[in-house]
Every structure is written in C-alpha cells, then in structure tokens.
Amino acid sequence: MAKLSTPVAGSAPAEPELDGVFLALADPTRRAVIHRLGVGSASVGDLAAEAAMTLPSFLKHVRMLERSGLIRTHKDGRVRTCELDRDRLGVVDGWLAQQRRLWEERTDRLESFVTGNPETGGDATADERNES
C-alpha cells in the first residue's frame, strides 16, 4: 500500500513538531520515562535499570525522546543525565485543549439540535411542531 505524502483531505495539517512528540509518547517505555522524569532528573543507567533494559536498547528510547524535545540530556564525566523539558509538554497540552474546545462545541450543537433548543440553533421540539 502506498504511503500518503500529504494529509487526507479534511484532516489536520501536518505538524512535524507535534507529530514527533506524539510519536515519542506512543511507546509505553518512553511514557514511563516521562513519568519518572516528572519526579526529577535521573541518569540514563538508572532509567535503563528501572526499565529492566540493556543500556544499548534503552538508549534508542532516550534518543527518540531527545529528538522530540521532551527530554534534555547532559554529560557530567561518564554519567549522562536526563531531565524533562516541561515546556515541550505544553505543545501537547495546547493541541489537546484546542481539540477539546472543538469537540465540546460540536457536541453542544448536536445536543441543541437533538433537544430542539431554538436559542442555540436546535430544531423545534415535537410538541412545538404539532402545535403549528
């Protein structure tokens, strides 16, 4: 099957920054790292041990999280430490808030239509239609 090079008509535009964050958050190990780093910074070795993974395997997750901008790492001697970039999580929060508003507006309009509230754009109720 051919991969679409452009978004499907009517879908959201491509947002590489947001796509990278969601891609990074799609994996349960990486979400666990984000959760853990919410408590405080930690070394890559400690995080790998907590995840019960070998260091080379775990480093793939660290690289993905770094590329997405969700974490930053710095090296102090032989120890690489990870810390959460809380501002980057704001990208996700902002997008989710926008989607929430959009769907709340849609469900409010649907509810108005179903209940027949003319003030909010709904259709007349069955009783109102029968009276005319």
pLDDT above 90 (res 115): no
pLDDT in tens, 17-49: 789 999 999 999 999 999 999 999 999 999 999
pLDDT in tens, 45-101: 999 999 999 999 999 999 999 999 999 999 999 999 999 999 888 888 888 898 889
In CATH terms, 16-85 corresponds, of 1.20.1440.230, 3.90.1150.10, 3.60.15.10, 1.10.10.10, to 1.10.10.10
DSSP one-letter code for 82: E
- The full set of domain ranges for the chain reads 16-85
- Give me the phi and psi of 122, to 5 degrees please: -80, 165
Strands of the sheet containing 79-84, edge to edge, are 42-43, 79-84, 71-76
Sorted by sequence, the CB contacts under 8 Å of residue 1 that are 6+ apart come out as none
